[in-house]
Structure 1
């Protein structure tokens, strides 16, 4: 049976000063979790810093989103292989905020899912309603 995943999406929160104490607090509680895999998904700019803090732990690193493109002139996008380069295991796709704010469709989400898998990432597919619903 597949082990459940508990992933914390930091959204657009945090600062360089707040990362270390936050990660240390999460790491301190890891021993209490034996029935699920754990991951954190910080903002892109903090991925390398968090990756270094996670070394030697069972806590996995994930990205909050991923491009469906491998490379090219896509300003602001982050390619799947770039995420694996910095140590990401997971990538969130289809988050309700991406769908509602940026109009990302099911088809676009599917292309991101496929791109993530092709690069060796494990996509975390979000499904469901908006918070208000």
Structure 2
């Protein structure tokens, strides 16, 4: 992203609707070229953690932990670098997007130090998720 092109924005929020509890070491996702994605109210997208932090277009992402699916509460823009919080607690930051399942949903790739699953974080349906500028 180019700081000269980006201005202030609203935080995108939603609620967890499905929790996932598995990991993969061979997932084969790829980082999309786009540094941001527009999302609409009511859309459902998958949250995926990774300890691989390469944002290069096409970078392969194999080591992943699955958090779950989030329903977006209001339209907005999710940007690479946004902080990801669940119930107000930091989880990581948006690394990018994988669109292998689009138009059904995006995989929102979340950079973390160690891959995490929904079970690792004790996630439950209805918990609030937010994507916004890092403090």
TM-score higher than 0.5 = no
Structure with more helix by fraction = 1
TM-score where L is the length of structure 2: 0.27
- Which is greater in Rg? 1
Q: TM-score under structure 1 normalisation?
A: 0.27
